[in-house]
Chains A and B, each alone.
Chain A
Amino acid sequence: GNSVTQMEGPVTLSEEAFLTINCTYTATGYPSLFWYVQYPGEGLQLLLKATKADDKGSNKGFEATYRKETTSFHLEKGSVQVSDSAVYFCALTEGGYNKLIFGAGTRLAVHP
């Protein structure tokens, strides 16, 4: 079945460091891909999405490119801030059906 695999956390970075959180997926068909973020004490928020191969989703300085050839959707940010500390979830939806399948999440801690 469809699945999402994320790099294990926690990821600990200093402020202004470069961030990469790896995400790979297994899917039949052509899924849409998402990154959600969960800040402490808050609900999941959509960070960015991409709906077809080679699309790049971006928001708040974060980017991810839908790579069909490597079945990946890695999250990147050039310069992280303390306020980016959160848990990040990679997810996909099966084609034509809006069922989200999430990875296990990656906790990011950014220190001043």
Chain B
Amino acid sequence: EAGVVQSPRYKIIEKKQPVAFWCNPISGHNTLYWYLQNLGQGPELLIRYENEEAVDDSQLPKDRFSAERLKGVDSTLKIQPAELGDSAVYLCASSLGGQTSTDTQYFGPGTRLTVL
């Protein structure tokens, strides 16, 4: 079974440029998550989708970040414009779904963003 797929794996851009990250979750997983992982820290949730609906985007900086999950499968996370402080690893995860706190999340390899 294929795991969570993310692309690109690495991205280098100049500040003020836009950037987009793509995630394909595990087949059949209804819940999709985007996390931000700064160097030397644990991941922090940016947004969570249940199917097409963003049910928790309280940590997403909405002035420059946006996300979508059309048709409830793939998802795209966008930053426009990027700032130096956005340099980090962006992780996508998926799970079967539901509100249970024991629903295991499976993570992709992440996209490492460097903003120059």
Q: Which residues of A contact B (CB under 8 A)?
A: 4, 31-32, 36, 41-46, 49, 51, 89, 91, 93-100, 102-105
CB–CB B95/A102 < 8 A: no
State the interface size on chain B (CB cutoff 8 A).
Answer: 28
Contact residues in B for A94 (Cβ distance below 8 Å): 101
Query: Given contacts A46-B105, A51-B102, could you give 20 more A-B pairs where the C-beta distance is less than 8 Å?
Result: A32-B102, A36-B107, A43-B91, A43-B107, A43-B108, A45-B107, A46-B104, A51-B101, A89-B43, A91-B42, A94-B101, A95-B101, A96-B99, A97-B99, A98-B95, A98-B100, A98-B103, A98-B105, A103-B42, A105-B41
Please, how many angstroms separate the alpha-carbon atoms of A92 and B99 in the complex?
14
Using a Cβ cutoff of 8 Å, how many contacts connect chains A and B?
A: 64
Please, how many angstroms separate the alpha-carbon atoms of A89 and B35 in the complex?
14
Q: Which residue of B lies closest to A50 (CB)?
A: B102
